[in-house]
């Protein structure tokens, strides 16, 4: 090997030491098969798993895996939609079952991606954290032998002593918040550690998000409750209309509280193209925390839930509950209650059923059950020619009912919807023409059943109901904190640059001090030369250039340094 090749090799090693540990990223190793033996294969697999490319690939797979969970009905969210999908797609449904697409987030393949990403992030963060701590405890490396090979470089001559130049450079760099120290004949300084800190914060935040997501799925609960004005609710499992939870959730984890719905108010646009659009939905409630907490009034609005511990009470739906009174043939009240009806359109045209299960006897004294199908419109307009509401508010309410008698099927023990009427064992009440008995009722009107069977009255009192969703997600706060930390960490890693500056001051052969300044960044950027130029200008003010004795007696001092005016040796021109 020639002497020139040896010198170049030493210079490359010298520059490599100067640029070492500018980040906590692991050194890339050439791809190849691992050594023989189990340990070699395990080490190779671990390095691949904790590499950045594999972490990004797993993150991409996790995002792609969440797509079918958003597009395909999930059994944990809505089992009825899953059954409807099975009935409509008899060919695809078995395939989806084998692939676990009806329960994506608890499937084996999604869990495998999730766990591998979790392990990959931890395996990447732990060594980088220790390396970063070591960098903070250490000092910037000494200056390379030849600063001219660095991307940003400048030099000048000064009559100041080398010690004075180094002291001035050290004070200047520390004032600019560089970590600096004197190493031999040069000052070594470094800045931008927050870039690596932001990078680590970003990765830690991803782990926090994964943990929060996992805990939210495992320990969450989500239930709904329909409440008529005047009803009460206690946060216990039997009180819910519908309830689903994570696999590790226990009923003891429910936050103890209760509340009563005192009043519901809704306002709507009365004119214009948005006529009938809701303006406000407000549910006035009184709630208490714990078993013996005092009652407190509050108002729950759309997107403004009531927060109690880890639980949130959302207002999600609204409708009307006409008060119905049913009497038998002797005039005794056998049913009196507000009946919630389900909306069918934006103007709250609603339908439901009234079931009289106990206490009724027909004209002959025989025990029987009654069923009424009800259709309600809050604003009826006879000119429209249809039984559809023209406005969602109670401007001209009308109730259409038809009547049945017999066996409702509730005593058989089979579950049935409170909003549907099983007419398989019911008989129609007939009018005088032999048709199904039905009538349009205004508030206060009564439909008399034939043959002394009794009557049904649409009372003047019309209540409203509100649907609440009670959600308990213990990882919500951690997820928000992780997301915020990830944003700030990513911003720091993108906009902060790690860079190093060296200032060498040595006495030349003619006794004049030669000052050299050079800068090196983790990546090519115009910021390093600009910053070096600014630092060089300020140091030049403290150690001005010496007169150029070779230019004649009238020669002035050397010009202020420009880091971009002196190209790196060997650089392309």
Q: Which uninterrupted H or E stretch holds 3?
A: helix 3-18
> What confidence category does residue 356 fall into, taking pLDDT thresholds of 50, 70 and 90?
very high
Q: Please, which residues have CB within 8 angstroms of residue 345's CB and are 6 or more apart in sequence?
A: 388, 389
pLDDT tens per residue, range 372-388: 999 999 999 888 778 89
Q: What is the mean pLDDT of residues 435-450?
A: 93
Residue with tokens 């939210």: 216
> What is the dihedral angle through the alpha carbons of 357, 402, 441, 432, rounded to the nearest 10 degrees?
-120
Q: What is the mean pLDDT of residues 63-80?
A: 84
Beta strand residue intervals within 329-397, DSSP E: 333-338, 342-343, 350-356, 369-377
Q: Give the dihedral sign, CA 212/214/215/220.
A: positive
- Please name which of 23, 344, 448 lies closest in space to residue 196, comparing C-alpha atoms: 23
| Contact status, residue 448 vs residue 456, Cβ threshold 8 Å | no
pLDDT tens per residue, range 392-414: 999 999 999 999 999 998 877 67
Query: What integer pLDDT is reported at residue 36 of this predicted model?
Result: 60
Which of 187-191, 319-323, 508-512 shows the lowest mean pLDDT across its residues? 508-512
- Whether 325 shows a pLDDT value over 80: the answer reads yes
Tell me the CA distances in angstroms from 171 to 35, 139, 164, 187, 521, one per residue in order.
Answer: 51, 16, 11, 10, 21
Alpha carbons within 13 A on the beta-carbon side of 178? 25
> What confidence category does residue 12 fall into, taking pLDDT thresholds of 50, 70 and 90?
low
> What is the dihedral angle through the alpha carbons of 120, 121, 125, 126, rounded to the nearest 10 degrees?
-50
pLDDT tens per residue, range 344-354: 999 999 999 99
Residues composing the chain: 573
On average, the pLDDT of the chain sits at 85
- Whether 520 shows a pLDDT value over 60: the answer reads yes
| Contact status, residue 373 vs residue 362, Cβ threshold 8 Å | no
């Amino acid at each position: 090997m020639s002497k020139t090749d040896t010198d170049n090799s030493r210079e490359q090693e010298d520059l490599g030491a100067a640029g070492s540990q500018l980040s906590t990223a692991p050194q890339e190793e050439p791809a190849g098969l691992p050594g023989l033996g189990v340990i070699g294969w395990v080490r190779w697999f671990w390095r691949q798993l904790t590499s950045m490319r594999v972490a990004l690939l797993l993150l991409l797979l996790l995002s792609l895996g969440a797509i079918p969970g958003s597009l395909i009905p999930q059994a944990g969210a809505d089992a009825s939609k899953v059954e409807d999908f099975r009935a409509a797609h008899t060919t695809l449904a078995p395939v989806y079952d084998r692939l676990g697409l009806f329960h994506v987030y608890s499937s084996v393949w999604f869990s495998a991606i999730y766990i591998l990403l979790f392990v990959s992030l931890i395996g990447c963060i732990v060594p980088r954290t220790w390396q970063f701590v070591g960098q903070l405890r250490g000092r910037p490396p000494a200056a390379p032998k030849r600063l001219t090979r660095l991307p940003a470089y400048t030099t000048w001559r000064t009559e100041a002593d080398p010690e004075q130049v180094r002291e001035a450079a050290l004070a200047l760099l520390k004032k600019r918040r560089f970590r600096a120290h004197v190493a031999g004949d040069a000052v070594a300084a470094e800045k931008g550690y927050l870039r690596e800190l932001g990078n680590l914060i970003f990765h830690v935040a991803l782990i926090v998000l994964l943990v929060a997501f996992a805990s939210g799925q495992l320990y969450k609960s989500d239930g709904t409750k329909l409440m008529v004005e005047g009803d009460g609710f206690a946060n216990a499992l039997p009180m819910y209309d519908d309830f689903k939870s994570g696999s590790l959730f226990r009923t003891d984890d429910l936050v103890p509280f209760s509340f009563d719905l005192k009043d519901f108010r809704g306002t709507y646009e009365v004119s214009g193209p948005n006529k009938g659009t809701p303006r406000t939905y407000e549910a006035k409630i009184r709630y208490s925390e714990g078993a013996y907490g005092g009652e407190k009034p509050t108002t729950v609005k759309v997107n403004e839930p009531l927060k109690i511990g880890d639980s949130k009470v959302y207002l999600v739906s609204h409708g009307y509950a006409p008060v119905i009174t049913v009497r038998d043939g002797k005039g005794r009240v056998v049913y009196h209650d507000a009946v919630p009806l389900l909306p069918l359109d934006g103007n709250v045209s609603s339908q439901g059923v009234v079931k009289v299960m106990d206490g009724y006897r027909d004209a002959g004294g025989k025990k029987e059950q009654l069923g009424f199908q009800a259709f309600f419109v809050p604003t009826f307009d006879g000119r429209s020619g249809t039984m559809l509401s023209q406005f969602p508010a109670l401007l001209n309410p009308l109730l259409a009912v038809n009547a049945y008698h017999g066996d409702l099927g509730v005593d058989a023990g089979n579950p049935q919807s409170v909003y549907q009427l099983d007419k398989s064992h019911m008989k129609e009440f007939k009018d005088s023409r032999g048709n199904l008995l039905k009538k349009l009722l205004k508030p206060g009107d009564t439909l008399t059943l034939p043959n002394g069977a009794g009557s049904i009255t649409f009372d003047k009192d019309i209540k409203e109901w509100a649907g609440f969703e009670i959600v308990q997600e213990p990882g919500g706060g951690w997820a928000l904190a992780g997301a915020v930390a990830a944003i700030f960490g990513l911003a720091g890693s993108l906009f902060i640059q790690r860079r190093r500056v060296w200032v060498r001051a040595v006495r030349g052969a003619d006794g004049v001090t030669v000052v050299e300044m050079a800068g090196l960044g983790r990546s090519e950027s115009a910021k390093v030369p600009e910053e070096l130029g600014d630092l060089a200008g300020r140091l030049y003010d403290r150690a001005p250039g010496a007169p150029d004795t070779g230019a004649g007696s009238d020669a002035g001092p050397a010009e202020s340094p420009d880091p971009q005016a002196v190209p790196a040796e060997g650089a392309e021109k």
